[in-house]
Structure formats: structure tokens, C-alpha cells
Amino acid sequence: MRVLSIFLLCGYIFANPYFPDDAWETKNHDEVGLDKLKIEELFDLTFSDDATMSAVLIKDGYIIKEQYAEGYNEDSYGTSWSTAKSFYAALVGISLDNGEIDSLDDPVAKYVPAYDEGKKKDITIRQVLNMTSGLEFPSHEHEMMFFEPDHMEYAYEVGVENNPGEVFQYNNVNSMLMGEILKGATGKTAKQLIEERLFSKIGLKNYTAWEDSAGNTLTYCCLDMSARDYSRFGILFSRNGNWNGEQVISKNYVDESLKLYWGSTPSMGWAHSDTRGYSLQWWISKYDDQAKIYNTSGKFGQFVFLDKERDIIFTRITKYRPVEGDVQDWGPLGYLRFLGSVNRAINFSRFLMWIGLIDIDGGSVVIPYTDADGESKEFYENYVKIVERIADLEKDDS
């Protein structure tokens, strides 16, 4: 029996709100006050990109519409890429709630001894989460770390180039540090914690959390699961960290995450609104009087959009071929890191697979991998339209 509770949610009182269990309930758009034609436009924009694998629209916890590319269904796994950053950052909030981390303004060095030297001593957890640590920032945003056997060894070698707190730079090393901060605070890996403290609480049972070959959890990327299950995380934040009566993560940390900390971020090669901001490993895609929409974001087009005031979640992920395993094994592709360019590494690996020299499904290479058919173009071109449509899905007053 669902726990009966009444709690304040974004200015509205919800008595006994619905939370999905194994069997996810649906509702018609009319039942939740949404406009059918607006919903259809949202999905038409989303599926105008052939890379789209899955899209799910959720209102008040109920699935209003979901759509899948041919050959995929509600159980099909996508891979998160950087969408995982927001998930793992929630674990930092839970450790803060538990008193294992004293403050977001603690120096990273308090929990990661390797940072107790030089300019790194001054970097705080908050600055790491807000991408303002000042760590060296190459053009590839440290995506080359993905091709290393030991990602933490790579991360530790990155120096400091700016004063902490002054410059926003979307740096994957910041997010990789979350796992070491959590390990220093709790004695457990991020992979252990995400199961114990997050997924087991929200009914998320089927997933893959990737590690590198040295046993480090990849906290800057790489959680595989279905679009429905990515959406559970969105619901948790939409409900102020509460899941069916249990406070999984404090409302204070949710509020801290979903605020406009960094108000305007540099372009990432595709159109977005001038107010696109960032806070604690979440993006803010719209922040005005009409709506405040936040999102996770992952390479090639992985998104969980959250309109908290309306309790709306929209999740979109791209085509993906999951493999057996959860530990990176580069096998014959281990030399890709020496190419020095992410694009060269991706294109060359795709070429080897195309000519049949490498078969990622055969077990010689075990990695999360997005092929060319899962790489977005039109979705990014339509990004602003999609966000604006999410902000206006209700029926017009007439």
C-alpha cells in the first residue's frame, strides 16, 4: 500500500501523490490538463532526429505519452554519457544530509588527500560541482580521459590554470572527482552508493553503472538504463527529494541544485537560450517568468528535462547497443588514447567496426558506445523549440 502523505510541492498541496512502481500507470492528456496537439508537436520535434531511440513525457508521475524508434521499446537501454553527472551529484547531497560531508564549501582536500597540495588546496566541493574549480581545461574538455585504463590517475595529473570560483568551464575531471570525494567521506565507491542510497529507494532495478579497468566508478558518465528509469530520477527531484513518503535527499539540496548559479554558459556548439545556466551538475535550459526548466545533458543527445513547478518530466535518449559487462575493457582499441583527439578516436573506431575488424558485440571490446546512428543533429537544432514547447504544454484558456 502506498504511503499516505501530504507535502508542499512548489506552492501546491498534493495529497498522496502518485509514484511509479514496477507497473507504471498512464493517464490521458485530458486528465492532467495538457494539450494533445502540443504534445504531438513535442514528439514530432524529438523524432525528427533519426538518432532518437526513446522519449517519455510524464506529468504528476504518470506516463502521458511515450514513443520508441523501430526495434526498441520501454525496456531498451540507452547510455547516459554526461547525464550521469546529475545522478552522482545527488550522492554528494545525500552524504551532506548524512553529515559525512560537512559543507559544500569544504575543500576537496579534506576528503581527497591528493588535493592537499599547491593551488588545489583552495578548490571546494561546490566549485567542483559548479564547474568553476579552475582546473586545466583543454579543448576536448578532458573527454580523452574516457580512453584511459585508470581515469583517476589521469584526473590527478590535471593542474590548475584559473583561480577557483572565477570561470565556468565544463570540465569532466570535476565530475570524476565526485567519486573520490564520496569514497573519502563514506569509505564506499560511488557505484555502491548509487545502488544503496538512490536506485533502491526509487524502484530503479535494471541498470549498468560503468567502472574503468582500475575499479573507479565513472562518475562523469556512463549509466545505462531505460528512458522510463532515467525519468524516475527526474521525478525524485520534481518531488523535492521525496519518494513515496521517504526523504531520499533533502529538499535543501534539491533547491540548491535547481537554482540559477551560473546564469549564462558558453556555447557548446549548438543553439541554446541566453539564460542557459548551470548548478551542481544540472543545466538550466529556461529560467524566466513563463517556466523554469532544468535538465541533465549527455553527449550525442541524452536529456532528462524537468519542469518542477508543473511536475513535468520529459526524457529523450538516443540509439544504443548495450553490451555484457560493466567494466571498461578496450582490448584492441586501447591505443585510441594516443590519437589525441576525441573526434579522431570516435571516427577511427567506427571505421574499424564498419569494416569488421572490431566487433563490440563480440566481447573483445567492452565499453559503453554510441554508434553513428545514435548521434544527434536535428534534436540540437530544435533544442530551443523543444524547451519552449515543454514550457507550454497546458491547454490554452478559452
Count of helices and strands (H, E) across the chain? 11, 14
Residues 46, 47, 48, 49: is their CA dihedral positive or negative?
positive
Q: What pLDDT score does 6 carry?
A: 39
- Residue of higher predicted confidence among 249 and 324: 249
Helix (H, G, I), strand (E, B) or coil at 332: helix
Alpha-carbon Rg for the chain, nearest whole angstrom, is: 20
Question: Which residues form the domain of 315?
Answer: 1-329+366-398
Band of pLDDT at residue 83, cut at 50, 70 and 90: very high
User: Is residue 254 scored above 70 in pLDDT?
Assistant: yes
Q: Where are the alpha helices (DSSP H) in 50-157?
A: 83-97, 125-129, 151-156
Is 114 a domain residue? yes
How does 318-354 read in b/e, with b if 16+ C-beta sit within 10 Å? bbbeebeebebbbeebeebbebeebeebbeebbebbe
Q: What pLDDT score does 138 carry?
A: 87
Is 93 a domain residue? yes
Is 345 a domain residue? no
Is 349 a domain residue? no
Percentage of the chain exceeding pLDDT 70: 90
Band of pLDDT at residue 143, cut at 50, 70 and 90: confident
- Over range 16-35, report the average pLDDT: 95
313 residue type, one letter: I
Of 302, 315, 254, 264, which Cα lies nearest the Cα of 286?
Answer: 264
CA dihedral of residues 235, 309, 69, 365 (deg, nearest 10): -50
Where residue 71 falls (left for φ over 0; alpha for ψ -120 to 50; beta otherwise) is left
Q: What pLDDT score does 24 carry?
A: 94
d(CA 313, CA 321): 25
The model's pTM:
0.92
Residue 309 makes CB contacts below 8 A (sequence gap 6+) with: 10, 11, 291, 292
- Over range 197-211, report the average pLDDT: 98
Is 356 a domain residue? no
126 residue type, one letter: R
Q: What pLDDT score does 297 carry?
A: 95
Q: What pLDDT score does 362 carry?
A: 66
User: Is residue 271 scored above 80 in pLDDT?
Assistant: no
Backbone phi, psi, residue 293, to 5°: -120, 125
Location of C-alpha cell 484558456: 397
For residue 245, the surrounding DSSP H or E stretch is: none
- The total number of structural domains in the chain stands at 1
Band of pLDDT at residue 306, cut at 50, 70 and 90: very high
Indicate the burial class of 165 (C-beta count within 10 angstroms; 0-12, 13-18, 19 or more).
Answer: middle
Band of pLDDT at residue 140, cut at 50, 70 and 90: confident
Is 213 a domain residue? yes
Tens digits of residue pLDDT in 372-385: 999 999 999 999 99
- Per the CB < 8 A criterion, the answer to whether 31 and 39 are in contact is no
User: Is residue 267 scored above 70 in pLDDT?
Assistant: no
In this structure, of 4-8, 55-59, 301-305, 341-345, the range with the lowest mean pLDDT score is: 4-8
- Over range 357-369, report the average pLDDT: 77
User: Is residue 13 scored above 60 in pLDDT?
Assistant: no
313, three cell numbers = 518530466
Band of pLDDT at residue 16, cut at 50, 70 and 90: confident
Q: What pLDDT score does 1 carry?
A: 33
- Residue of higher predicted confidence among 398 and 95: 95
CATH number of residue 75's parent domain:
3.40.710.10
Of 102, 81, 83, which Cα lies nearest the Cα of 92?
Answer: 102
Residues 27, 229, 146, 197: is their CA dihedral positive or negative?
positive
Is 6 a domain residue? yes
User: Is residue 15 scored above 70 in pLDDT?
Assistant: no
Is 303 a domain residue? yes
Tens digits of residue pLDDT in 212-238: 999 999 999 999 999 999 999 999 999
How does 110-136 read in b/e, with b if 16+ C-beta sit within 10 Å? bbbeebeeeebebbbbbbbbbbbbbbe
- Over range 91-107, report the average pLDDT: 98
- Per the CB < 8 A criterion, the answer to whether 244 and 7 are in contact is no
d(CA 123, CA 231): 32
Band of pLDDT at residue 2, cut at 50, 70 and 90: very low
Band of pLDDT at residue 398, cut at 50, 70 and 90: low
d(CA 258, CA 306): 10
Q: Where are the alpha helices (DSSP H) in 239-325?
A: 251-257
User: Is residue 9 scored above 60 in pLDDT?
Assistant: no
Tens digits of residue pLDDT in 310-360: 999 999 999 999 999 999 988 877 777 767 677 777 777 777 777 666 777
User: Is residue 179 scored above 80 in pLDDT?
Assistant: yes
